[in-house]
Amino acid sequence: MIRVFTLFTICLFCCCSTEIDNKKIIKNTNSVSKINVPVFNEDSAYFFIQKQVDFGPRFLSSPGWEKCSAYLENKLKTYTENVIVQKAPTKTYDNKKHILKNIIASFSPEKNNRIALMAHWDTRPIADYDTINQNQPILGANDGGSGVAVLLELARIFCLQKPNIGIDLILFDAEDYGQPENSKYPIMHNSWCLGSQYWSKNPHKKNYFAKYGILLDMVGAKDAVFTFEETSHYYNSNLLNKVWKKGHQLGYGNHFSFTKTKQIIDDHYYVNLIAGIPTIDIIEYDPTTQTNFNKHWHTHGDNMDNVNKETLKAVGQTLLHIIYSE
């Protein structure tokens, strides 16, 4: 019975268990690396996506956004006491005023040697690339949910086995509230990635710097392929090569392609340009679609059917090897 647990036991259970099976996952089962690297639990990551999707669409100021922000803050607080919700007023292309929320969780905040792991937690308020119900918001299971889920699972693992390096998990808001091509409003430059633009100008900690950053965006679809995106390659080709080579060593070469592809204006663009943190973007590239994004990008098809556990595993396990080699 829970009421007979000691306080220490209760805290340990809350911090260091999955929500689906309470199994600790510390042992390294991959012979590729001699480092004691934890095992990424793709079932747990999948569950974290489902939790977000259950709140419904999560665009600025929506009911689902309010509920999800509270969930993310509280969940991260079970893994570290160092959680900050950075709030800031913002105005979107449609002349609406909002208060955006960037959510930051830090591990070993006393360490100066740090890395930043990032994703956006909001979803698209319209389905502008669908053929039906284009003015209705999407669920964003992959675009929004998957990157956050991988980071939540990493946070759970960091609680169990602390990395040698300091880590900041940064969940950006308002990435996907950008102006659509057929907008009736005057053109608003830099209408995308509002949360990362604000954070890059106003970091959560004075004089903050990380040796590098890794952004996750759309990392959950079946057969997703991640390429050498141009901005990532320009700002941190060494890290890009390191991550991709590790992915191949671990047997995930079908997901990590060394093909160079065009620039994407994503959160990493502003983190590089404004904050000066050399950041790469792990983001799906699909040469068979008009947009070169996942076929369900900004459509109502971006639901749980668009999520694949094997892809989550490939990304999460690769990142763990990179992080625990620091």
- Tens of pLDDT, residues 42-56: 999 999 999 999 999
pLDDT over 70 (residue 4): no
Q: Write down the pLDDT at residue 14.
A: 47
Separation between Cα atoms, residue 282 and residue 284, nearest integer Å? 7
Q: Write down the pLDDT at residue 24.
A: 44
The strands making up 279-283's β-sheet, listed across from edge to edge, are: 83-91, 97-107, 166-172, 114-120, 212-217, 279-283
Helix, strand, coil % over all residues of the chain, rounded to 5: 35, 15, 50
pLDDT over 80 (residue 289): yes
| Residue range 2-323 in CATH 3.40.50.2300 | no
Q: Write down the pLDDT at residue 35.
A: 78
- Beta bridge pairs of residue 86: 102
| Rounded alpha-carbon distances, angstroms, from residue 118 to 91, 95, 103, 271 | 23, 27, 10, 10
Separation between Cα atoms, residue 160 and residue 15, nearest integer Å? 8
With a pLDDT cut of 70, the percent of the chain lying above it is 90
Q: Write down the pLDDT at residue 30.
A: 46
pLDDT over 70 (residue 26): no
pLDDT over 90 (residue 159): yes
Q: Write down the pLDDT at residue 8.
A: 32
The residue whose two tokens read 């209408």 is 191
Separation between Cα atoms, residue 215 and residue 233, nearest integer Å? 13
Mean per-residue pLDDT for 286-315?
A: 98
Least confident of 35-39, 141-145, 197-201, 270-274: 35-39
What letters, b where the CB count within 10 A reaches 16 and e where it falls short, cover 105-120? Answer: bbbbeeeeebbbbbbb
- pTM, full prediction: 0.92
- DSSP H helices in the chain: 7-16, 42-53, 63-77, 147-160, 194-201, 230-249, 267-270, 309-323
With a pLDDT cut of 90, the percent of the chain lying above it is 89
pLDDT over 60 (residue 19): no
Q: How confident is the model at residue 18 (pLDDT cuts 50, 70, 90)?
A: low
C-alpha 235: how far from chain center: 19
